[in-house]
Chain A
Amino acid sequence: MAYLTQPDYVKYICSCGQLKPITSLYFCRHCLKIRCGFCICHEVDSHYCANCLENMPSSEARLKKNRCSSCFDCPSCFHTLSTRATMAQPRQTPQDPAGGDTKVESKQPKKMYYLSCFNCRWTSRDVGIPDQPVASGGWPERTNPFAARVNQLLDYYKAIALQEKQEKIERERKKFTIRGKYITLTDKTGLTGAMARNIAGLPSSDSSCSAIANFVPSQASAEVEELPEDYYTKEVNLNQITSMPQRLASPEWQPVSVSRLHPLAKLLSVKRSQRCRVCDHNLTKPEYNPGSIKFKIELLAYYHVPEVKIISHEPVKAGEKTALLLKLTNPTGHEMQIKLLQPEDLPPPEEKEEPKSIEKSLEKSLNLEKDTSSYKAIEREPQYSVTSRVTSPPTALTLAQRDDAAEYDDDAQHDTTE
């Protein structure tokens, strides 16, 4: 049983040796093994904004630095900012309706919008951002003072990555030609390297060369700006100084004073699917719609693995026998045989060498596919300390299948066998 606010009393051994509560485990139907977040493959399915629930293709998300263009987070407490409307008279500085009965007096009230945080009451007016006439968008954007340098660095590293990739292709190609047994695609079809690059969707190598050649590494300088005269004597007003998390939330500017805090474009969230590393089957796959919390595939351990609950236990004393009452529940629609084992009776993790076909790796090298060797599932012995011994009944237990009607029954003695 897993609790939200209590420690996890019952833990299950994942096939990778981790001990986890049942709520964070998956069950691969194809390998018939328990998997956990550590030993499965996490894949990003789609990017979306958790506030406006808008989907964004991954290319666009990358372009926008994984941030939503219409939603903002509070720079002070990181809560989502809300847009608030006020009535403001033209030719008048925007002010609160609190300042009097402006609502009644104004002849031509104009709706103006500002951003406000419901948590810490920060508003965009606090830092002097003018109110906007439209509800969404139009908020002034600040430019990164180091934008040019950042772009230069980006180009440089992209070029280097490209160069390394090409070198790798060359190496792989040589390896296979030496073997002589396999004819590479380029040999067979007379494709040139440039054409192969085109097919693979890579830009030509010329531009990358220039980016590497023209790159100027930055120079460390010993000259540092002097501290202001009153640095040690001036009284500090902590309300005017930003906290470390506030500074780090906008790494481009790192404001020191609260008057320089600007709304943060909201970070996108991802929907992810999870995949078994051994058999490549999906363990979970969410629905595409960001508003939906349902799954298309949902192989949770909770639906397949018998649930163990500790009903009662007596305090453990040295050299004495105490009673431990467990309740096992079968969540599946099939009858289940269960045997209680001692920790040392656990079957050791199987050593399995996956046969690696050369054809497959050749195909991979040509397709420039990611190296999958890092995905391999590793099985380890579970680590846990034992302070007492459980004397288990030697016979196998039979758990009846789940009874959907049990919940609606009046008599309480309708649970599965114990």
Chain B
Amino acid sequence: MEQNRTWKCAKCDKELVLKKMLFSYLGHTFSHEIMRCPKCGNGLIPKELAEGRMAEVEAQLEDK
């Protein structure tokens, strides 16, 4: 059910769109596409991403 939810930015009342976002950790910077508000740019990071791929990348960078 959660995957099927559509989100909008409550502040700007805009549907989110897939757009690049800059991420940084321990001095490393990289970009990744996530759902973002087209107006204010706020991005939404789902649990699966935070605890999945992002956690993996965090661990890789920590071991570098």
Q: Indicate whether A and B interact.
A: no
B residues adjacent to A (C-beta < 8 A): none
